[in-house]
Structure 1
Amino acid sequence: MIVIVDSLNSHEYSDILAEMHRLRARVFSDRLGWDVKVSNGMERDEFDDLDPAHVISLDDKGQVVGCMRLLQTTGPHMLSDVFSCLLDGEPPIRSPHVWEATRFCVDTNLLGRGPTRNSISYVTSEVMIGAFEYGMHAGITDAVAVIDPVMNRVMQRSGNAPYGYLGSPHPMGKVTALAALMDCSEERIESLRAFSGIRHDVFEQQVYEEGV
């Protein structure tokens, strides 16, 4: 199940937000070894203070098992302020209709492999479907995300291939990073649903309605 947590309802989901930040710490700091800010077991950065929308996947027990952060490109965002080298000197996208997707992760400790509901593949698709459906209802036409070649292949295999890239790939620490573009469209959502077999409404209805 997907919940959307933003500045309007974050006070109602403080526990879920804290659990999400703990998941991000386990993934980005502990498992991937990124140079991120962790305090009290939670990973946060300056972009979390800019009122993003968080797409959060909960399992049947209400535990956070996946998440993604969506942030408008009209102000500071990671591609313009952290990964600008990927743009090869070109200006970053600045549009109210384009959001940046960052901090995508899933809990590989709680989730298994295969096609089941409690699998990495299922939760990955659920978060993507939730993000694109939420974005469409909010008037977003496109999303940009900084990804690595492994994630790029995962997206291509799962019916979520980028339609284009900004700038050129650059080495970032132990991986190569590239800025990928995706349209928020019915066709992309249908492709993700066909791949994953997810046909039901992925949202907790009340949260979805409030977020639109």
Structure 2
Amino acid sequence: MITIVDSLNAHEHSDLLLEMFRLRARVFCDRLGWEVDVDDGMERDVFDDLDPAHVISTDDAGRVVGCMRLLQTTGPHMLSDVFSCLLDGEPPIRSARVWEATRFCVDMNLATRGTARNSISYITSEVMIGAFEYGMSAGITDAVAVIDPVMNRVMKRSGNAPYDYLGSPHPMGKVTALAALMDCSEQRIAQIREFSGIHHDVFEATVPELSVH
């Protein structure tokens, strides 16, 4: 199930946010070895203080199994302030209708492989569907994300291929990073749903058995 947590309802979902920050620490610090700030087992950065919307996936037991952060590009964001080298000197996008998607991750310890509701592919697709459906309802037309070639291939296979890229790929530590653009559209959501077999409302607590094609 997807829950959107922002500045308006964060007080109602404090436990969910804490678990999300702990998941981010396990993924980005412990598993991927990124140079991120971890305090008391939680990974946070300055962009978490700028009123982003968090797309949080929970399993049937209520445990956080995946997440993504959405932040407006009108102010500071990671592409403009951290990864600006990817833009090759071009100015970053500044638009209330274009949001940046960052800090996407899945709990590999809780997720499984295959087509079940707790599989890696299912959680990934559920987070993407939730993010794009929420984005459309908020008037967002496009999303920009810094991804690596592995994620780029995953997105292409899952009906979520970027329609364009900004600047050019650059080496970032052990990987190559590129800035990808995706439209928030009914067609994109339909493509992800078709790939994943997710046809129910991802924001509903009770879901039917996964449809497998």
Bucket of the pairwise TM-score, normalised by the shorter protein: over 0.9
Sequence identity percentage: 84
Q: Which runs of 5+ in 1 are unaligned?
A: 206-212
Q: Does 1:175 align with 2:175?
A: yes
Whether 2:75 is the aligned partner of 1:68: answer: no
The equivalent of 2:196 in structure 1 is: 196
Match in the other structure for 2:84: 84
- Within a 5 Å distance, the mapping from 1:1-212 to structure 2 comes to 1-204=1-204
User: Is the Cα–Cα contact under 8 Å of residues 86 and 169 in structure 1 kept in the other structure?
Assistant: yes
Offset at residue 93 of structure 1 (A): 0.1
What is the letter of the counterpart of residue 54 of structure 1? H
Structure 1 distance, partners of 2:176, 2:204, is: 36
| Aligned alpha-carbon RMSD (Å) | 0.7
Q: Are the aligned partners of 1:3 and 1:204 in contact in 2 as well (CA < 8 Å)?
A: no
Deviation at 1:204, TM superposition (A): 4.1
TM-score by length of 2: 0.96
CA distance in 1, matches of 2:176, 2:136: 30
Query: SS of the residue aligned with 1:103?
Result: strand
Tell me: CA distance 1:204–1:12, structure 2 relative to 1, closer, same or farther (3 Å): farther
Which 4+ residue blocks in structure 1 deviate beyond 3 angstroms? none
Q: Once the 2 structures are TM-superposed, how far is the Cα of residue 9 of structure 1 from its aligned partner?
A: 0.2
Whether the 8 Å CA contact 1:66–1:107 is kept in 2: the answer is yes
Q: Number of paired residues?
A: 205
Residue type at the aligned position of 1:14: S
* 1:133-186 deviations in Å (ceiling 9; x for gaps): 000000000000000000000000000000000000000000000000000000
Alpha-carbon distance in structure 2 between the residues aligned to 1:50 and 1:25 = 19
Partners of 1:160 and 1:191 within 8 A in 2: yes
With a CA cutoff of 8 Å and minimum separation of 6, indicate the structure with the bigger relative contact order. Answer: 1
Q: Secondary structure at the match of 2:130?
A: helix
1:188-212 CA-to-partner distances (Å, cap 9, x unmatched) read 000000000000000148xxxxxxx
Query: SS where residue 17 of structure 2 aligns?
Result: helix
